Amino acid sequence: ATVNRSGGDWTSFSVRWACACGEIEKFSDVSSFTIRATDATGLFTKVNATVKLFKQNRHRGRTSVYVAYAFFWTNFVLAFGLAFWVIESRQNPIVNVAQPEFLLLVLLGVAFSSGTILIFTQDDGSDGSSLDMAIFACQLAPWLYTSGFVIVYASIYAKLYRVYQLFTPKRFSPVTTSRRRSLSIVAFMWMVDASICLAWALTYPISYERVPTVFDPEHPENVLESVGFCTTDSMVFAYMSATYHLLLLSYVGYYCYKTLGIHSSFSEAKYLRVSILCSIQLILFFPRSQLTPQLLHQHWHLLQPW
C-alpha cells in the first residue's frame, strides 16, 4: 500500500485489501494485522488494522447434491439391472410377448432422463472458475431430458400401437406391424424433439447466470449472497417441446384406452395411466416454474427460512 504524509503529522489512512478466496475458511483465524508505513526521510508509524471477511453464500448446498446423486444412481442401477435381466430372459415367453426391444428402449430413456438430475448439480464453483462447465451443463439439459422422455413414451406408444393392430385387425386390411416399422416410429418422434432442441441451441442458447441477492449494508459493493441458475433469452422452444410432449402423452393415453380390454401380458395400459398422469402434472407445472428465475433476485428473501 502507498501511504502519503501531509505536513509534519501523520494523517489517518485506511488500507483495503480485497481477495477472492475460494476457501475463506483458511483465513477465518486472521482478525488483525499491523501496517508499518515509512516516508522518504525514514520516519515511520505503525497502525493496527482489523480484518473483516466478506464470505459470499453462493447457495451451493452439498446436501441437495448428495440427494441428487442418490436419485441418479438409484435410477441408473435399476435401469441397468432391469436391462440385463431383459436381455438374459428374452427367451422367456412372458418377456418375449412383452416385446423386449421396446422394454430396453424404455430403460434407455429412463437412463437419459436421469442424467438430467446430475446436470443440475453443476454450477460455476465457489469462485466462478467453473462457469464454462455450468453453461455446458445448462445447454445439455434439454437434450438429455427431452431425449429420455420421447424415447420412453414413443417406445410405449409404438408398443401399444403394435399390440392394438395385432389384436384388433380390420377386415380386408393387411396388418403391418413389423418391429422395424415400430422402431421407425420411435426414431421419427425423437427426431422431431431433437429438431426443436437444435433450433433452440442455435437461436437462443441457454447460459448460466448468477444474480446477487444480498449485499453488505456497510460496503454495498460486497455481495453476501447470490444464486445461480440456467437462463435463456426466449422460452418459445421450451413451450414447443412441452406442447409436443403433451401431444405424445395424449396419443399414448388414447392407445391405453383402446387396449384396456387386452390381457395385461400384452398391454400394460392400466399401469401406464398412472405414469401418464404424473407426467402431465409435471409438464403443466412447467410454465409456473419459469417465474422463479426472473423474480428470484427481487423476492429472494421470501425463500429464506425463518
- Show Cβ contacts of residue 110 under 8 Å, excluding neighbours closer than 6 positions: 75, 79, 148, 152
pLDDT given for residue 65 in this prediction: 85
CA 191 to CA 184: how far, in whole Å?
10
Domain range holding 16?
1-53
Answer yes or no: do 28 and 69 share one domain. Answer: no
Answer yes or no: do 149 and 45 share one domain. Answer: no
Bridge partner list, 225: 57, 214
Answer yes or no: do 174 and 81 share one domain. Answer: yes
Number of domains in the chain: 2
**C-alpha cell, 158:** 409404438
- Show Cβ contacts of residue 266 under 8 Å, excluding neighbours closer than 6 positions: 97, 98, 163, 167, 259
Taking only Cα atoms into account, the Rg of the chain, rounded to an integer number of angstroms, comes to 29
pLDDT given for residue 286 in this prediction: 55
Cβ proximity of 276 and 253 under 8 Å: yes
Answer yes or no: do 17 and 125 share one domain. Answer: no
Angle at CA of residue 67, ends 229 and 246, nearest 5°: 60
Q: Is the dihedral of CA 251, 257, 259, 264 positive or negative?
A: positive
pLDDT given for residue 1 in this prediction: 44
Answer yes or no: do 199 and 251 share one domain. Answer: yes
Domain end point (choices 36, 53, 70): 53
Answer yes or no: do 39 and 82 share one domain. Answer: no
The CATH number of residue 180's host domain is 1.20.1070
Q: Is the dihedral of CA 220, 291, 277, 106 positive or negative?
A: negative
For residue 228, which of 72, 122, 116 has the smallest C-alpha distance? 122
Answer yes or no: do 221 and 293 share one domain. Answer: yes
CA 289 to CA 298: how far, in whole Å?
16
Residue 305 lies in a domain: no
CA 175 to CA 162: how far, in whole Å?
9
pLDDT tens across the length of the chain (306 residues): 444 444 444 444 444 554 545 444 444 555 666 777 676 677 777 767 666 666 777 766 778 888 889 989 998 999 999 899 989 988 888 777 778 888 888 889 888 888 888 887 888 887 778 888 989 988 998 999 899 889 888 888 888 887 777 777 665 455 556 677 878 888 999 999 999 999 999 999 998 888 888 888 877 777 878 888 888 888 889 889 888 988 888 888 887 777 777 666 566 666 666 666 666 666 666 555 544 444 444 444 433 333
CA 300 to CA 135: how far, in whole Å?
23
Answer yes or no: do 25 and 66 share one domain. Answer: no
Residue 304 lies in a domain: no
Answer yes or no: do 200 and 226 share one domain. Answer: yes
**C-alpha cell, 134:** 455450468
pLDDT given for residue 32 in this prediction: 64
CA 251 to CA 257: how far, in whole Å?
10
- Show Cβ contacts of residue 144 under 8 Å, excluding neighbours closer than 6 positions: 112, 113, 115, 116, 119
Answer yes or no: do 101 and 239 share one domain. Answer: yes
Answer yes or no: do 136 and 27 share one domain. Answer: no
Residue 303 lies in a domain: no
Map residue 112 onto helix, strand or coil.
Answer: helix
Name the CA dihedral angle for 92, 93, 99, 103, rounded to a multiple of 10 degrees.
-40
Answer yes or no: do 135 and 274 share one domain. Answer: yes
